[in-house]
């Protein structure tokens, strides 16, 4: 193996660990801080749970992005350009069209991967539900903030962080399609962790496979279009469909 291969692999590994560690670390630290604030000011526990989740999610995304992109600038003077993030041009009609068209390849790829893994591993439950922080929504405010978080905030923030900064940085140290696969693997891995039970963390294998498939399509869109816009739209559409079947459809069915 050439020195350049090992050097690029080392850089890709450092980049991957850096982004994942910051994203998870920020969630842990903010959870600890939030718990301390609630202990000091018990009255804050009365704040609407959906609103609290939205505020927490916004802080996680903002802090993660600022740390991931800001520390390299401070330590190594590495400029984070709009081109690196995939936002160096305006939204085009082709981005909108590809964002809509990519829904079908994503669903087919996700379903195909789940079928293949299910055939190989009997322990996979294709019907396993993904854990989300919004539960038992009842008021219009709760539905609105849940929609804003899951369908607007999360897609924009995650695309800028993963298909923007991470994939854009990986493309500088490795083959672009290797960067696509690695970004998708990391994205899917981050969605493996679910709730806690008596045995520890529940692993959401079905969700991990699904988000890996989504990550492959999102990262490919970044390569084909040169920006994250089409990926943001696809991500929004996917989450909007999930939001409908998780919250709107059960509510409507309950009125029939």
Question: Are residues 158 and 211 in contact, defined by beta-carbon separation less than 8 angstroms?
Answer: no
pLDDT at 45: 78
Continuous H helices in 77-190: 82-85, 93-101, 103-120, 140-147, 154-158, 167-170, 176-190
Share of the chain above pLDDT 90, in %: 68
Max CA distance (Å), the chain: 66
Number of Cα atoms under 13 Å in the Cβ half of residue 80: 19
List the end-to-end C-alpha distance of the chain, in Å, as a whole number.
65
Question: Are residues 173 and 15 in contact, defined by beta-carbon separation less than 8 angstroms?
Answer: yes
pLDDT at 124: 86
Residues 185/189/192/198 CA torsion (nearest 10 deg): 150
pLDDT at 1: 45
Q: Where are the extended beta strands (E) located within the chain?
A: 193-197, 200-203
pLDDT bucket at 231, cuts 50 / 70 / 90: very high
Question: Are residues 12 and 173 in contact, defined by beta-carbon separation less than 8 angstroms?
Answer: yes
pLDDT bucket at 131, cuts 50 / 70 / 90: confident
Q: What is the pLDDT of residues 65-94, one digit of tens each?
A: 999 999 988 887 778 899 999 999 999 999
The residue with tokens 């493309």 is 171
Say whether 124 sits in a helix, a strand or coil. Answer: coil
pLDDT bucket at 255, cuts 50 / 70 / 90: low
Region for residue 168 given its phi and psi (left: phi exceeds 0; alpha: psi -120 to 50; beta: otherwise): alpha
Say whether 89 sits in a helix, a strand or coil. Answer: coil
* Structural domain count, the chain: 1
Label residue 118 exposed, middle or buried (CB < 10 Å: 0-12, 13-18, 19+): middle
What average pLDDT does this structure show over 217-224? 97
Quote the CA–CA distance of 224 and 227 in Å, as a whole number: 8
Query: Tokens standing for 256?
Result: 């029939």
Residue range(s) defining the domain that contains residue 40: 3-253
pTM: 0.93
Quote the CA–CA distance of 137 and 54 in Å, as a whole number: 13
Quote the CA–CA distance of 108 and 87 in Å, as a whole number: 28
């Amino acid at each position: 193996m050439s020195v350049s291969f090992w050097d690029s692999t080392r850089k890709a590994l450092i980049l991957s660990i850096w982004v994942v560690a910051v994203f998870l670390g920020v969630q842990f630290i903010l959870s600890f801080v939030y718990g301390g604030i609630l202990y000091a000011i018990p009255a804050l526990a009365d704040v609407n749970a959906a609103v609290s989740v939205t505020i927490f999610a916004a802080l996680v995304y903002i802090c993660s992005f600022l740390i991931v992109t800001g520390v390299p600038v401070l330590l190594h003077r590495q400029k984070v350009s709009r081109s690196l993030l995939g936002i160096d041009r305006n939204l085009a009609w082709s981005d909108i069209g590809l964002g809509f068209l990519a829904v079908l390849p994503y669903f087919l790829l996700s379903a195909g991967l789940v079928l293949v893994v299910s055939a190989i591993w009997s322990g996979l439950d294709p019907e396993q539900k993904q854990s989300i922080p919004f539960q038992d929504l009842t008021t219009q405010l709760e539905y609105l903030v849940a929609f804003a978080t899951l369908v607007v905030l999360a897609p924009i923030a995650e695309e800028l962080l993963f298909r923007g900064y991470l994939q854009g940085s990986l493309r500088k140290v490795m083959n672009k399609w290797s960067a696509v696969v690695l970004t998708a693997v990391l994205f899917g891995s981050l969605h493996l962790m679910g709730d806690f039970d008596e045995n520890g963390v529940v692993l959401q294998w079905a969700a991990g496979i699904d988000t890996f498939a989504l990550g492959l399509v999102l990262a490919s869109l970044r390569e084909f279009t040169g920006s994250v816009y089409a990926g943001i739209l696809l991500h929004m559409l996917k989450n909007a469909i999930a939001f409908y079947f998780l919250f709107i459809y059960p509510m409507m069915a309950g009125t029939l």
